[in-house]
Structure formats: structure tokens, C-alpha cells
Amino acid sequence: MSADLLAGGLAVKRTVSHKLKTCFAWALAITLGLASCTRKDGARERHVEVGVASWYGHPYDGRLTASGEIYDMEKMTAAHRTLPFGAVVRIQNQVNQKTTEVRINDRGPFVAGRIVDLSHAAAQAIDMPGVVNVQLEVMSTPPTRGAEMFAVQVGAFPQRTEADRLREQMEGKYGTASLIFRPGDQTWRVLVGLQATVEGANALAQQLDQESSPAFVVLVDSE
């Protein structure tokens, strides 16, 4: 074989080898990029709360919840102030480490320091005789229909006239106030403000809490 043919063959091999290496490098980069995108898309922001849980049964059993469902104290459900209806949360008893999962279908609890109100069945599942410290972790939430808005509840009254009087006062001072009726406990509730974030509603709640009765941030539910 002549020197020219040998040199030409080596040059072709080097060119093919370089192209193969380049193609492999691009393929590796694309694969890693896709893997990175998959990890980002699959990541779910972890929502965890720690606080006091309580449970409720009679006389609410059989009454309408804030979501419109009939409350059944022997089903695995719970009330929360700001999570959307249909959210599934895991509750862990911080005393005995027992866990259970419940679906949010009601609003509450409206007692300072408490973060969730469990059904009787859910309380039994974690051996919770009364109130207990728990960890709440959101496992899933339903698809949202539009932007979520938050308000601050400043009162609950059995008579609409009393609630409307407070609503007028709050509206004059803060610009936005409304009434909602909760058939479960037959009360009229006064909501103040309309905030796009929980943080904004919390700031308003701190101000209202200092000026009047206990204030609780709630998710504004669509009618």
C-alpha cells in the first residue's frame, strides 16, 4: 500500500472518529438536559404544618360542611382554613407517631393555635382522644380553577343583623368586607379583605387581631 493511500485512510478514520465523538457528546448533553427537565417538572413543593389538631363529631354529624357535602364523622375527612377542598393530607400524631390520610372538605378550626379539625374516624386512627400536636403534610391537591384568594374571618354570629353590623364597620375601615352563611353551625361569618397570597392575608390578620376579636385567615371558596 502506498504512503498516500495510507495517509488518506488514516485521515478518513480520524474524521469519522471525530464525528462520532461529537454526535455522542451532543446525545449525552441532550439526555442529561431531558433528565434535568424531568426532575424539575416532577418536583412538588412540600407543604408541611406543625400545630394542634382537634376533632369534631356531634352535633355536626349529618350537617352540611362548607364544601356542600354532608358531614359524616366516620369518614376520613378534615377541616382546614386555607387548603382547597379535595386536598389530601397526611396527619402524624407527634406523641405516638401514628399517621393517617384525610381529605379536606370543611373549613376550620376557628380556635387560636389549632391547624386542623379531624373527623371522629380520623382521630381514632391516630389514637387521639382530645387535642394533640400533629404534623400535617399535603399529599395532593385538586386542579385549581382560577386564582386563589384569601380573606380574614373576624366574627361568627347566629343572627345576620349582628354580622351585618360588623361587616359595615369593617367595610368602612378596610374597604372590603362580606358575609357568608355556614349551614353546618348556622352562623353568619364576617370576612375582611381580599388578598392574592396567604402572606398578605396574614399581615391583615395580625392587624385585625390586635384591634378586635381573634382573626383567622381563610381561603375564599367559590359559590
How is the beta sheet containing 187-195 ordered, strand by strand?
Answer: 177-182, 187-195, 150-157, 216-219
Side chain identity at residue 104, one-letter code: I
Torsion of CA 56, 58, 60, 63, to 10 degrees: 140
The pTM of the full predicted model, rounded to 2 decimals, is 0.77
Q: Print pLDDT tens along the chain (223 aa).
A: 444 433 444 343 444 344 434 443 433 333 333 332 323 333 457 899 999 999 999 999 999 999 999 999 999 999 999 999 999 999 999 999 999 999 999 999 999 999 999 999 999 999 998 999 999 999 999 987 678 999 999 999 999 999 999 999 999 999 999 999 998 889 999 999 999 999 999 999 999 988 777 899 999 987 6
pLDDT at 46 (0 to 100): 85
CA distance 216 to 113: 10
Enter the C-alpha cell of residue 30: 441532550
List Cβ neighbours of 202 (8 Å cut-off, separation of 6 or more).
Answer: 217
CA distances in angstroms from 107 to 5, 153, 174, 201, listed in the order given: 85, 11, 24, 16
Exposed/middle/buried for 181, CB within 10 Å: 0-12, 13-18, 19+? Answer: exposed
pLDDT at 223 (0 to 100): 60
Which phi and psi angles does 34 have, rounded to 5°?
Answer: -65, -40
CB 92 within 8 Å of CB 173 = no
